[in-house]
Structure 1
Amino acid sequence: MTSAEPVSGPDAALCDALATEYGVVYGYGLVSAYSLPEFNDLVVTTIRQHRERRDQTIAMLTGRSVEVPLAAAGYQVPIPVTTSNDALRLAIRMENDTATAWRAVVEQAREASDREFAATALGQSAVLAAHWNQALDNWPITRAFPGGED
């Protein structure tokens, strides 16, 4: 059963984070296709985390009788990808975008379990962004406050 009411507050933030996860799972298909074989293990680890998080978020929303947004048939990536380095830059961008989405959930969560889930997701995205930054020899490899500009 789903609600016919518009989603707001913490559930809206969860829906937004889910939409971001959908796009990231799609985007990692491009990362996988264009990145060098030496990055295959990192791609596999990363996409597995995002798929698991997507599925857990769907379960959370379903458990609350919140209408779960559907994934789009396709997504426009924020940067063109034609080389392995482009693919790594896309991975970094997606992890930063995901961190931003989960930070919003942390900030809006009313339940401790939601805040814990979102904080874990935020931390995982920050760590993955650091791995991708390291692979691309970017410096610094981390941000002081992942998911934000502060």
Structure 2
Amino acid sequence: MSPRPNTHSEIETLQAALAGVHAALWGYGVLGPRLSGEEEERGRRAYVRYRELRDHLVALLSERSVEPVAAAAGYTLPFPVSDAASARRLAAHLEAGCAGVFADLVAGATSAKLRGFAASTLRECALRHLAWGGALSAFPGLPRPPARTATTPTPDAPAR
């Protein structure tokens, strides 16, 4: 007998992904006016993509007879956004956050189709994160591992 899929976890991760997308939409609304030229267009494309993701996530939750989480009336910015440089930083921050919620959705998905959607979206977020000047990580969307310490075994030092 195969284990029953954990749909509760799937619903929670779908809701968290939707909440992250709501926050990204709000954030792109804040940073958009501070950009110009190609960056303004990149921000506009990201905003449109997040609207599509929002609509898709709402549909996925509705198919499961679950009320989709609503967007907050407003969000607290992690830092002041007053110029193009801080707008780029915010965009990278938003993309890193969304990569995290879609990484969680990859883990919480109970079907290959949903897992594929989440993985593809995670990849999109990671690429946008890099495009906005974010740092590359080995596993986008996951916390960075702790720094090695003197007691951490390495290929050059045997374990004690």
Taking structure 2 as the reference length, the TM-score comes to 0.81
Extract unaligned runs of 5+ from structure 2.
1-6, 146-160
Give the structure 1 partner of residue 15 of structure 2: 15
Give the structure 2 partner of residue 93 of structure 1: 93
Give the structure 2 partner of residue 4 of structure 1: none
2:132 is paired with a residue of what secondary structure?
helix
Structure 1 residue 146 corresponds to structure 2 residue 140: yes
2:20 aligned partner, one-letter code = T
Structure with more of its chain in helix, by fraction: 1
1:124 is paired with a residue of what secondary structure?
helix
Matches within 5 A, 1:1-150: 8-133=8-133, 141-148=135-142, 149-150=144-145
Q: How far apart are residue 73 of structure 1 and its match?
A: 1.3
Write out per-residue CA displacement over residues 62-107 of structure 1, whole angstroms, 9 at most, x where no aligned residue.
0110111111111112121111100000000000000000000101
1:107 aligned partner, one-letter code = A
Taking structure 1 as the reference length, the TM-score comes to 0.87
Give the RMSD, CA atoms, in angstroms.
Answer: 1.4
- CA distance, structure 1, for counterparts of residue 35 and residue 85 of structure 2: 7
In the comparison of the two structures, how many residue pairs are matched? 138
Write out per-residue CA displacement over residues 32-64 of structure 1, whole angstroms, 9 at most, x where no aligned residue.
011233411101111111110111000000011
Quote the sequence identity (%). Answer: 33
Instruction: Look at both structures and tell me which one has the larger radius of gyration over its CA atoms.
Output: 2
Which of structure 1's runs of 4+ aligned residues deviate more than 3 A?
A: none
Q: How far apart are residue 8 of structure 1 and its match?
A: 3.1
